[in-house]
C-alpha cells in the first residue's frame, strides 16, 4: 500500500475517546497515537490500575492543580511520552524529572506526531499545588487538538464561560467539546450549556463532575439547559469505556 493509500485508510478511521474520571481523557488518533489529558488516574472514578495500564504518546496538562497534573510524572517516565504544558508548569515538570517537555503558551500551536495542538484560554486559578505548597504556575488553559483525519477536539480544562469562547468556533470549529459541568470549582451545567452555544460543536462531553459530592452537575442537567436542537449532541461516558467519533 502506497503513502497516499495509507493516508486514505487513516482518514477513514475514527477517533476514540476514553474518560478516566474527573478531567482525565485518553484520545486515540486514527493512526493510534495516544493523547492523554490531565492524567489524574487515581481519582475516585478511575478504573483500577489505570496509572499502570494507560498508555500515552503525548500528555497535555491544562494547569498546575493536583487533580490535573495528577500522575503526569510517573506516566511520562513509564511511557516516554512528551508532556505539553504552559511554560511555568513545563519548567516545574522538567525539574521533577520529566525527560520530554514541550513548553507553550496561549494562542500558540505546536505539531507533534502529526497532531496539531493549540493552547487556548481558560478562566480559573493556576497555581501548582501538587506538593501542598502553592507556587506560581502560570495561567490555566484549554487545548484544541486536531488529528490526522481533520477531527478537532476541544478540552476546556477548568473554566467558567467567557465571551471569547465564540472565537473557538470562529477560529477552530471543534467537532467535539469536552467541558466541565460539576460546579463549585468550575462552571456547572447551566454555564456549560451557554459555553456550548458559543462553541457550537457537533458533540459534547461533560467532565469534572461526580468525583466528589460537591461536584453536583450531571450530563442530564446539561441537556436540560441546552437548546432542544443541541441536546442530542451530549454523550455520557462511563469511566474506562471508549467511544468512537
Domain ranges for the chain: 15-235
Higher pLDDT, 113 or 132: 113
DSSP 135: B
Is 7's pLDDT higher than 60?
A: no
pLDDT range class, residue 13, cuts 50, 70, 90:
confident
Compute the residue count for the chain. Answer: 245
The CATH code belonging to domain 15-235 is 3.60.15.10
**Residue 192 contacts by C-beta under 8 Å, 6 or more apart in sequence?**
161, 179, 180, 181, 206, 217, 222, 225
Q: What is the mean pLDDT of residues 148-158?
A: 98
Predicted pLDDT at 60: 99
User: pTM for the whole thing?
Assistant: 0.94
Q: Where are the alpha helices (DSSP H) in 66-217?
A: 66-69, 72-79, 87-95, 165-171, 189-199
User: What are the pLDDT digits (tens) for 109-126?
Assistant: 999 999 999 999 999 999
DSSP 125: -
User: What are the pLDDT digits (tens) for 190-231?
Assistant: 999 999 999 999 999 999 999 999 999 999 999 999 999 999
d(CA 44, CA 49): 12
Amino acid at each position: 500500500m502506497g503513502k497516499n493509500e495509507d493516508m486514505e485508510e487513516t482518514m477513514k478511521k475514527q477517533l476514540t475517546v476514553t474518560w478516566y474520571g474527573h478531567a482525565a481523557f485518553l484520545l486515540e488518533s486514527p493512526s493510534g497515537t495516544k493523547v492523554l489529558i490531565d492524567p489524574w488516574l487515581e481519582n475516585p472514578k478511575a478504573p483500577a490500575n489505570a496509572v499502570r495500564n494507560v498508555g500515552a504518546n503525548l500528555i497535555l496538562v491544562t494547569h498546575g492543580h493536583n487533580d490535573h497534573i495528577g500522575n503526569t510524572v510517573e506516566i511520562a517516565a513509564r511511557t516516554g511520552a512528551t508532556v505539553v504544558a504552559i511554560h511555568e508548569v513545563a519548567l516545574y515538570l522538567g525539574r521533577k524529572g520529566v525527560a520530554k517537555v514541550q513548553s507553550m503558551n496561549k494562542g500558540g500551536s505546536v505539531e507533534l506526531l502529526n497532531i496539531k495542538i493549540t493552547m487556548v484560554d481558560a478562566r480559573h486559578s493556576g497555581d501548582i499545588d501538587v506538593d501542598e505548597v502553592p507556587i506560581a504556575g502560570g495561567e490555566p488553559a484549554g487545548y484544541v487538538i486536531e488529528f490526522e483525519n481533520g477531527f478537532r477536539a476541544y478540552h476546556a480544562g477548568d473554566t467558567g464561560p467567557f465571551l471569547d469562547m465564540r472565537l473557538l468556533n470562529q477560529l477552530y470549529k471543534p467537532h467535539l467539546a469536552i467541558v466541565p459541568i460539576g460546579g463549585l470549582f468550575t462552571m456547572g451545567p447551566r454555564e456549560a450549556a451557554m459555553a456550548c452555544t458559543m462553541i457550537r460543536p457537533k458533540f459534547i462531553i461533560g467532565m469534572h463532575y461526580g468525583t466528589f459530592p460537591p461536584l453536583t452537575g450531571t450530563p442530564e442537567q446539561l441537556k436540560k439547559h441546552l437548546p432542544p436542537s443541541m441536546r442530542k449532541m451530549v454523550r455520557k461516558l462511563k469511566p474506562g469505556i471508549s467511544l468512537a467519533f
